Amino acid sequence: MAGVSLFRFYIPGFLKTFTPFATAALLIFTAGTASFAAEPQATPTPEIHRIADIFQPLSRPAELLLEPTHLVLLICLGIFLVVLAVLAYVLIKFRPRGPEDHLEEPPQVYGSYNIEMAWTVIPCLIVFVLVLVSARSIVEIQDRPMPEDALQIRLIGHQWWWEIQYPELGIITANEIHVPVSSKDGKPRPTHIILESADVIHSFWVPQLAGKTDLVPNRVNHTWIEPFKTGVFLGNCAEYCGTQHANMLLRVIVQTPEDFQKWVENQKQLPSEPKDVIAIQGKKDFYDLSCVACHKIDSTPAEGVFGPDLTKFAIRQTLGAGVAANTPENLHAWLFQPDSLKPGCYMPDMKLSPQQLDSLVAYLQTLK
Ligand code: HEC
Ligand SMILES: [Cu+2]
């Protein structure tokens, strides 16, 4: 694609002046999507990259998108300024200068070959440039070969939470993706993400890691991430998918390879048996009430797949796909009335008694 590389060189010159405007505009724009309902306290975590900012990419596919984004914004800014300038010129030059101006009919002009050519040819050229530049980025991202040993994740969208499977590791979890950090000069550690949906169209978007990719029913989509920094990256569903779409939040927890390995080892172990009386009662309640119909806990009769896998629930930072921090109080509120935290969600109000609530909260907290 020789034509495209032509446009590489003239981007950086403008960037310095333009980035602050664009960042400001985008901060306002993304403020809503980046705000999470609550701070996690359950597990101490490294830095949370709080602002989901596409102008500060921290992973390769997101980085590859930055340059065309700047180019598009720059061209739009240019068009905006030209239109504004012409408008201002006309408004001032032809402003009414007295009452007699209203009586006189201005000269009537029928067509102009030059002007019509200009407004046809110039936009065509602009579109042509943008097509080439976007095509290059799309090819660069989509055709990037994944190394043999790349970590693989199957991400399945549900109304309104994320199912996360690590097929090669035999791990199933929800709403919080753990991946190892990659290094720019050392060994790259990309994560290949296979995207599917259990119901309607959702969209995977963690702005600092990668562009959006949809999760479409009966279709398998692919994307990848390769973060260069550890920490928690915030993302969300980016395709309207029903009432609780706005609370279908996602966290990508990027860890050092050692910490990631520790997490994997822990996920593979079964949760320890509850020891105190209330938690033991909670385990019993979990089976007696119909929680088992919708939730899975490894090596127990709980085999439900309609809701999130709870095998290692207590390790998660948030509950209800990021709607609240995973604290005993919030868990209590969630079990008492899921609707109070996430109106319209598909976890039913089980009409639990205060004793059942206490015992279930105690039991669920042992799942780590
Ligand atoms: C009809 C199916 C269904 C039943 C029955 C059910 N749940 Fe759920 N549960 C769900 C769904 C669906 C979600 C995900 C809701 C969301 O985030 O939108 C969920 C979420 C949860 C979560 C939060 C998980 C997370 O990681 O965010 C917990 C904890 C939970 N349920 C516990 C229970 C307990 C305890 C019971 C029994 C008293 C129970 N559930 C009964 C469907 C069910
Ligand atoms: Cu969604």
Q: Which residue has the higher pLDDT, 339 or 46?
A: 339
Q: Look at residue 268 and tell me if it is in a domain.
A: no
Cross-strand partners of 223: 193
Same domain, 313 and 196: no
Tell how far the Cα of 248 is from the centroid of ligand 2, in angstroms.
6
C-alpha span between 189 and 178 (Å, rounded): 13
The reply to whether 247 and 312 lie within a common domain is no
104 inside domain: no
127 domain-assigned: yes
Provide the domain limits for residue 122.
1-37+47-95+109-260
**Same domain, residue pair 253 and 288:** no
Residue at which a domain ends, from 202, 228, 260: 260
Query: Residue 101: is its pLDDT beyond 90?
Result: no
The answer to whether the Cα torsion of 57, 62, 64, 65 is positive or negative is negative
pTM of the model: 0.82
**Same domain membership, residue 236 and residue 143:** yes
Q: Which of 193, 226, 260 is at the close of a domain?
A: 260
Residue pLDDT, tens place only, 36-84 = 444 444 444 567 777 778 899 999 999 999 999 999 999 999 999 999 9
Shared domain for 202 and 300, answered yes or no, is: no
CATH of the domain at 315: 2.60.40.420
Residue 46 has what pLDDT? 61
Please check whether residues 185 and 53 belong to one and the same domain.
yes
pLDDT > 50? residue 27: no
Ligand 1 atom nearest to 331, measured from its CA:
29
The total number of structural domains that make up the chain? 2
Q: Do 173 and 290 belong together in one domain?
A: no
| pLDDT band at residue 109 using 50, 70 and 90 as cut-offs | confident
Secondary structure (DSSP) of 301-356: S-B--SS---TTGGG-SEETTTTEE--HHHHHHHHH-HHHHSTT-SSPP----HHH
Q: Are residues 224 and 305 in the same domain?
A: no
**Interatomic CA distance for residues 253 and 198, integer angstroms:** 24
Ligand in nearest proximity to the CA of 158: 2
Ligand 2: centre distance to CA 179 (Å): 22
Helices (H), the chain: 2-5, 12-34, 60-93, 113-142, 257-268, 277-288, 291-294, 328-336, 338-341, 354-364
Pocket of ligand 1, beta carbon within 6 A: 160-161, 174-175, 244, 286, 289-291, 293-295, 306-308, 310, 313, 316, 319-321, 335, 342, 345-348, 350, 360, 364
283 belongs to a structural domain? yes
Same structural domain, 211 and 333: no
Q: Are residues 14 and 122 in the same domain?
A: yes
Same domain, 221 and 77: yes
Mean pLDDT check: name the lowest of 29-38, 163-172, 243-252: 29-38
Residue 187 has pLDDT above 70, yes or no: yes
Q: Residues 63, 65, 71, 76: is their CA dihedral positive or negative?
A: negative
Question: For residue range 248-258, what is the model confidence (pLDDT) as tens digits?
Answer: 999 999 999 99
349 CA to centre of ligand 1 in angstroms: 10
**Same domain, yes or no: 216 and 178:** yes
pLDDT digits (tens, 9 = 90+) for 205-230: 999 999 999 999 999 999 999 999 99
Residue 341 lies in a domain: yes
| pLDDT band, residue 114 (cuts 50/70/90) | very high
Answer whether residue 265 is part of any domain: no
> Would residue 63 count as lying in a domain?
yes
* Boundary-marking domain end, from 196, 227, 260: 260
Q: Is position 252 within any domain?
A: yes
- Any residues with CB less than 8 A from the CB of 278 and at least 6 apart, and which? 358, 359, 362
